[in-house]
Structure 1
Amino acid sequence: MLGKVMLPGDEELGKKDDDHKYMPARRSGWSIWNHTFRWRRRRLVLAVVGLGFVYMLLSVFQGRNMSLGQPVMPGYHTSYGYDDKHEPKGAPPGAQSAGSTESHTFDGRIRYYRLAKTLRKSAAHTNGYDDKNRNVLFVMSSLQSASKMLPMICEMSRWNRNYVHAALMGRVDIPVQELLQLNGIDDTTCPATWHDARPDFTEYSTDDRAHLAVIGAMGHIHNMLHPQAVIMDDAKSEDDFFVRGMRNKTEKLGTTLIEVPKDKWDQKENFSWLTRLDGGSLKNWHSSTVDILIQVPSDSSNVLRLLKSIKDADYSGMKPPRIILELPAQLDEAVKRRVENFEWPPHRTAAESSGFIIRRRIMNHRATQEDAAMRFLELFYPTSTTKSHVLLLSADAQLSPLYYHYVKYMLLEYRFSEYGKEDSAKVMGVSLELPEMLLDGKTALMPPKVIDMHAERFKKLYKTTPSAPFLWQAPNSHATLYFGDKWAELHSFLSNRVVKHQESIKAVSRAKLVSETLPAWTEYMLEFMRARGYALLYPAKMSEALVTIHNELYHIPEEFSPKPKDSKDSIPDPQLDDGPFLRGDAAPSRPPNHAELPIIPSSKALHLALPFDGDLPEIPHLPHLLYDGKIVELGQVKKTAHEYADSFRKEIGGCTIPKGKKRKVVKGEPRDLFCYGDEEEGEWVDDVEETTGEKLAVDVGTKTMSTSGGAQPTPTVIEADED
């Protein structure tokens, strides 16, 4: 390659060749030396660049294995790739003795000498490098918080649903093993992984250095473990620099941070149910919202007792639900005044918006079953079908102070658990009440026993438990949490159901299966549940209840109540003889039978009030009841639902099903239950089961013919459908 000195200068480019005298191509000694120097200089530059590239590769490789994650702050650098054997002892130069505020003066470089060893070991066998895993992290800074969190850490480890990690941060300079020994904890009884995430000279650190050390340690832990949730003590019990650091870093990382409320574990263990949840549930601790929906009948003051029980309940560490209250046109003045002065959520500041929504009807008149059902369902619609849910409460209900703990526990376990969310696809919601009667209001309900469960573990461990939770294909209007996606699907179902009934000239009223002591919308919900194979999860029979339904001021649903003889209402009754469901000869005159059990007090922990020590069974392990109270196998539920759906499509949906075809079912959409004559070819699919059945019939006939002496035909091979 030629150097620039061998090229003519720019000013010579325009001259002719004969303007130059012929000269031999010789270079001076300086020119040759200069060219050689520049040639070597390029080699030197390339060598430096190569070394820099190698250094960058080594840095990246080292960063992947050491999970740098240090805070980018001027004047600070953090690293944890040091051996604890080389950690400096004693005070840093110029520092006073530890233990006093004056000693918090060191703001030097941050190093973690004791963190790398445990993180590297844990990351490999817990899939810590993956974003999705089973890691749950407890963090603590003060000794006071550590003493409260240690039992919680060990309790979660005992349930063995997560890889439990605990990280000690802060200024306390006590060895982790010594801390565990002082609290009587060993690896056998408490198989958690302990991490010492404190920096060097931790007890001498300034507040800023301690704050940055928390952020840096959390960055290292996140890179190596990717915890699904981080759990810490109440902010009032922890160091301020620690609380600020954890909140800032977890928010930046998008990691769920759960703060255990003050005195909710060490005194009454009210949060013990949290230790039974897996990482998938804990990750969604803040994801879901719950709206309480209350429809108040005329001349009812029971709602005041309900509102008081809602206000007196425990919402520590959780976001209180929003309340939607529908009031009648005619309302007692005292009730109106009390409702107007009701503050929600409790202890809210002036900057917080109210979570109490009041809706009031304009007129009171007897509505049809369709009108009453539509009006009720229109009171709520989820903002998100996966995160927004509704808790339906009767005005006659009185709640336990722990009711919201139960709602939160059930919602997290059966909607977000990595172990059970797939099995919960057919669960429409969770009832807080255990009815005493079937839907007809006449026959007593016989709750399933533990022996009816499909899990030997529960049968062996809890032989003396009188009752078990169960799935029941029956709606509940007294106290039930309905999941947002199922409520939205019910909305669509009712819309199509009403349209088909109103359009049909030959619409025939169906027999009513639900007692008229329950509102009209429950009959529609029963149809929907039977067609989809959905069920509600009902609680086991307990000595103390999550909710009590009071009977003294019972009101018949407005759509079924008779018109008073002395009524001056000029609005005529709606036409009832062409309704979707046949009415009884007379409205029920007596209230339903409800045993008013005492509610679970706030002094009792939730897991102690529930059966099986608060262990929630998986959905396939639960007994399953049809709407009439008969226990069926879980596999039979799907078959029963298919048969009912086919019958519903023909009788109500107006469908003429082509031979060998069936409607395509789209998840979350009930449109396949109804036909309007505009169905496209893609909305029908081959009915494999029907075709298989016909082939089986042909094979049976063929075998019979061959045994009678005819020629042996070629057999038909049929592969069974796995669905």
Structure 2
Amino acid sequence: MIRGHMLSKAMLPRDEELGKKDDDHRYLPARRSGWSIWNHTFRWRRRRLLLVVAGLFLGYMVWNSFIGQREVALDFMGNPIVPAVDPADAYNEPLEPTGPPPGIHVPRETRPHTFDGQIRFYRLARTLRKAVHRTDGYDRTNRNVLFAMSSLKSASNLIPMICEMSKWSRNHVHAAFFGREDIPLDTLLKINGVDGVKCPAMWHDARPDYMEYSSDARAQSAVIGALSHIHSFLHPQAAIVDDSMLENDYFARGVRNKTDKLGIPLIEIPESKWEDFMWITRLDAGSLRHWHSPAVDIMIQVPPDSSSVLRLMQSIKAADYKGLTPPRLIIELPAQLDESVKRHVEELKWPPRDGHSQAESGLVVRRRIANHRSTQEDAAIRFLELFYPTSTVNSHVLLLSPQAQLSPRYFHFVKYALLEYKFSAFGTHDEASRNLMGVSLELPSLLLDGKTTLTPPGVKDMLTDRYEKLYPKTPSSPFLWQAPNSHATLFFGDKWAELHSFLSSRVIKHQSSTKPVSRAKLVSESLPAWTEYMLEFMRARSYTLLYPAKSAEAMVTIHNELYHVPEEYAVRSPDETKPNTPPQADEPFLRGDTPPQQRPNNPEPPVIPGSKPLHLALPFEGDLPELQHLPHLLYDGSIITPGKASNIAQNYATTLQKEVGGCTIPKGKHRKVVHGEARDLFCFEDDDEGDWVDDINDELVKARAREQLLVDAESKGLPLTAFLPEVETATSTRARKVVVQTGVA
């Protein structure tokens, strides 16, 4: 009997005349059971059963893979999650293939860079997963800094910096090796003498499989892919490489392309200059994140018939700018100009260019129409009009006297001080930092009166004993002084704009007053007139400049032999030689009893040579101390506690408002303060009731100050957690509300 439906249809006749039908051949048992009905109706063939089982298994694998990827992608704000397993089990290094890729013949002497296969990272995930929780890698703002090494040469250059930064413990230091060399990472560290205890950095092997055989295109893709993984796990605030990476074009193109797209600042250390840049190891991640943010303009006023500026220009040109963005030069020339100065300015190419670079000119030259005796007010106005910041956060000015001679390391110090005191994530929110107006490169020998000797404070005068214990042989300390400096000073852009607002209101008030008040002059006439206005401003706001510690070598030397008296004080009428004579043209400040010296006798220490790295030239091993730990000096040289400085400033501001600003202060009210302006120190006819606000208690004042701190932090991209210690001290309802609104709590 032929069984099987398909077979019977194919073999048996279908003619109706034969008298038989196909279904007569179906076998039907005499008695049907339940099982036989099931077996007959739903008969599965073996092939179909296997296909169904395979389909179910494949569907299960696809579904499981999709769910796993979905969880990894979305579980933590789009970042991959770390499973609770040992990474060594999930990523077993011995699984990485060894030897050449399949189908590639390896010559005895060289290995061909021709492999373009799929990229797999067998060693990177293990270390990234270990580091992510230890360093808060999933947070967009953290303390992670990445060093990227492209070769054995690059590793030997960067490893000293890696270990030095790790030693200071201000950052979580990560070092990734991207080179083509087939050498284990542990062996590489051993060759370079890296001690895991003395050098607690986190090391990552970012090389894919077959890296030594990879084509340049595959190697570049591997660099981009590895940086993507590192960014997903660590979110580094800055990436540091050295110029030896240019020997590996694939690495240079890959790292520049990817860091630019990810918004990671790329810091390139010039080749063989790692020791000169050792100072960056003292900076925290917040400062390094703004490596490319600050811009500096140098401002020089050339006196008439003076060639002393040539020495200054030569020292500016000879300074070291490798790895840094050179400053812009703003030069004001007099009407009567020395021929040698004119020729030198015409031939000056700035910034310094390498080869045939066609970089934009960074030189701005202004020349006066005529030299004539100007008043103190005119001289101050002309000076402040020479510069105005394009950004109060990132634009700053370095004022230099024509008698100055700079150290080749001066711009390294300027960059270092800017990043530390303006952009540090954890050191720019205290009162001393908010009141810092700039940094002086010169330590004067006299007070502002030009007669009294300045006695710099020592390490024992600092507000902490930490530096005295760590550096007992360091006699002198940097300090904060409520005094302007006209020789060599870096002024911060926000404070310069506020000074601009102060002088504008000061001049308008003086010129519009029917009975202008001429105040006693506190600053020697050997210094320009604008310093007197700046002193008023600093005293009213409790602002200070950071002055360097006394040392055998200086960042700048001010020479005496070609000194010129400020133009506004150069000529004196016979009446002006008499004591307390009213100033001509109703000038705001009384003239001194005697004319200034034609030649000062200031010390001229040698400048720090270019052969000495900056961190070795500065005290405390190059560590810039926190401002709240430094001694605080009033304009007369007396040391006071920081707590008293704000009270003294408030009393002086009230006096200035009454005597100069023309204010009659209502009881229980004070002038409304607008951030970044100084109009509150003066009263005008167009003022209304909205310019006066009620006095509030001290707790609300502190709360509003903290609120401004948090606003500044958000504008600079700084972590709000840096402000927790200060915010937690608030006790008022307003302060607590600020905490809740800003999300710090």
Same fold (TM over 0.5): yes
Q: What secondary structure sits across from 1:587 in the alignment?
A: coil
Deviations 1:667-695 (A, max 9, x none): 21111111114334343232235999xxx
Distance change in 2, residues 1:690/1:510 (3 Å): farther
Would you say 1:58 and 2:58 are equivalent positions?
no
Question: What is the distance in 1 between the residues matched to 2:172 and 2:408?
Answer: 32
Report if aligned partners of 1:328, 1:361 keep a CA contact under 8 Å in 2.
Answer: yes
Partner residue, 1:337 = 343
In 2, Cα distance between equivalents of 1:60 and 1:594: 72
Are the equivalent residues in 2 in contact too, given 1:67–1:224 (CA < 8 A)? no
Q: Partners of 2:107 and 2:642 in 1: how far apart? A: 65
Q: Distance in 1 between matches of 2:698 and 2:173?
A: 51
The Cα shift of 1:462 comes to 1.8
- Name the residue aligned to 2:304: 298
Match of residue 740 from structure 2: none
Partner residue, 1:30: none
- Select 2:412's aligned residue among 405, 410, 428: 405
The residue correspondences of 1:452-467 to structure 2 (distance < 5 A) are 452-467=461-476
Any conservation in 1 of the 2:294–2:394 contact (CA below 8 Å)? Answer: yes
Contact 1:469/1:540 (CA < 8 Å) preserved in 2?
yes
Say if 2:297 and 2:329, in contact at 8 Å, map to a contact too.
yes
**Matching residue of 2:711:** none
Distance 2:286 2:655 in 1: 39
Residues 1:387 and 2:388 are matched in the alignment: no
**1:229, 1:255 within 8 Å by CA — same for their partners in 2?**
yes
> Per the alignment, do residues 171 and 99 of structure 1 end up closer, same or farther by CA in structure 2, a change over 3 Å counting?
farther
1:174 equivalent in alignment to 2:190 = no
Q: Distance in 1 between the 2:611 and 2:259 partners?
A: 33
Alignment of 1:123-272 (within 5 A): 123-235=132-244, 238-265=247-274, 269-272=275-278
Q: CA offset at residue 374 of structure 1? A: 0.4
1:2-25 CA distance string (max 9 Å, x none) = xxxxxxxxxxxxxxxxxxxxxxxx
The separation in 2 between residues aligned to 1:645 and 1:51, in whole angstroms, is 75
Distance 1:690 1:101 in 2: 75
TM-superposed CA distance for 1:460, in Å, is 1.1
* Length, aligned pairs only: 634
Q: 1:263: how far off?
A: 1.5
Residue in 1 aligned with 2:428?
A: 421
Q: Counterpart in 1 of 2:294?
A: 288
Counterpart code for 1:510: R
Pairing of 1:645-660 with structure 2 (within 5 A):
645-660=653-668
Would you say the 8 A contact 1:517–1:591 is kept in 2? no
CA distance in 2, matches of 1:431, 1:61: 55
Give the AA of the match of 1:151.
Answer: P
* One-letter amino acid matched to 1:503: S
Question: What residue number does 1:706 align with?
Answer: none
TM-fit CA distance, 1:658: 1.1
Partner residue in 2 for 1:38 = none
The CA distance in 1 between the partners of 2:179 and 2:190, in whole Å, is: 19
SS of 1:544 mapped into structure 2: coil
Cα deviation per residue 1:63-118 (whole Å; 9 max; x = unaligned)?
46899999xxxxxxxxx984323111111111233786552111111000101111
Residue 402 of structure 1, CA deviation: 0.4
The 1:99/1:64 distance shift into structure 2, 3 A limit, reads farther
Alpha-carbon distance in 2 for matches of 1:84, 1:102: 23
Give the Cα separation in 1 of the matches to 2:473 and 2:257: 49
The question of whether the paired residues in 2 share the 8 Å contact of 1:292 and 1:324 is answered with: yes
Are 1:327 and 2:333 matched, yes or no?
yes
Q: Deviations over 1:103-158 (max 9, x none)?
A: 21111110001011111111112110111000000010210111111111000000
1:166-205 deviation line (CA, Å, top 9, x unaligned)? 0011211111111111122121010000001100111111
- How far is 1:593 from its partner? 2.9
Identical columns (%): 63
Instruction: Please point out which of 472, 481, 505 is paired with 2:490.
Output: 481
The one-letter amino acid of 2:600's match is P
Aligned amino acid, residue 590 of structure 2: L
What is the correspondence of 1:566-715 to structure 2 with a 5 Å cutoff? 576-688=584-696
Equivalents in 2 of 1:174, 1:121: separation in Å?
A: 22
Q: Distance in 2 between matches of 1:332 and 1:273?
A: 40
Aligned to 1:276: 282
Aligned 8 A contact 2:245 2:251 in 1: no
Counterpart for residue 41 of structure 2: none
One-letter amino acid of the counterpart of residue 346, structure 2: E
| 1:347 Cα deviation after fit | 2.4
Q: Does 1:357 align with 2:357?
A: no
Is the aligned partner of 1:314 residue 2:320?
yes
Map of 1:477-516 to 2, 5 A cutoff?
Answer: 477-516=486-525
Q: How does 1:8-87 map to 2 (within 5 A)?
A: 55-63=65-73, 82-87=91-96
Contact 2:445 2:602 in 1 (8 A): yes
Distance 1:187 1:116 in 2: 20
Q: CA deviation at 1:577?
A: 5.0
Aligned partners of 2:502, 2:108: CA distance in 1, in Å?
A: 68
1:507 is displaced (CA, Å) by 1.5
Aligned residue type for 1:411 = L
1:538 aligns with 2:544: no
- How far the C-alpha of 1:438 sits from its partner, in A, is 0.3
* CA separation of 1:52 and 1:103: change in aligned 2, threshold 3 A: closer
Provide the TM-score with structure 2 as the length reference.
0.81
Query: In the TM superposition, what is the alpha-carbon distance from 1:563 to its structure 2 partner?
Result: 6.0
**How far apart are the structure 2 equivalents of 1:614 and 1:722?**
41
Q: Name stretches of at least 5 consecutive residues in structure 2 with no aligned partner.
A: 1-54, 81-88, 575-581, 701-730, 736-745
C-alpha distance in 1 between matches for 2:104 and 2:589: 85
1:518 maps onto 2:524 in alignment: no
> What is the CA-CA distance between 1:221 and the residue it aligns to?
0.2
Task: Give the corresponding residue for 1:569.
Answer: none
Any idea what the Cα deviations from partners look like across 1:267-297, whole Å, max 9, x if unmatched? xx21110111110111111111100000000
Inter-partner Cα distance in structure 2 for 1:174 and 1:690: 64
Question: Does the 8 A contact of 2:301 with 2:333 survive in 1?
Answer: yes
Give yes or no for contact 1:128–1:135 (8 Å, CA) kept in 2.
yes
Q: Alignment partner for residue 101 of structure 2, among 92, 109, 112?
A: 92
Give the Cα–Cα distance (whole angstroms) in 1 for the partners of residues 497 and 682 of structure 2: 17
State the match for 1:702 in structure 2. Answer: none
State the TM-score, normalizing by the size of structure 1: 0.84
Q: Which residue of 2 aligns with 1:39?
A: none
The 2-side partners of 1:623 and 1:297 are apart by 35
Distance in 1 (CA, whole Å) between partners of 2:644 and 2:502 is 24
Partner of 1:688: helix, strand, or coil? coil
* Contact 2:298-2:330 within 8 A present in 1 as well: yes
| CA deviation after TM superposition for structure 1 residue 553, in Å | 1.0
Other-structure match for 1:552: 561
Note the C-alpha offset of 1:504. 1.1
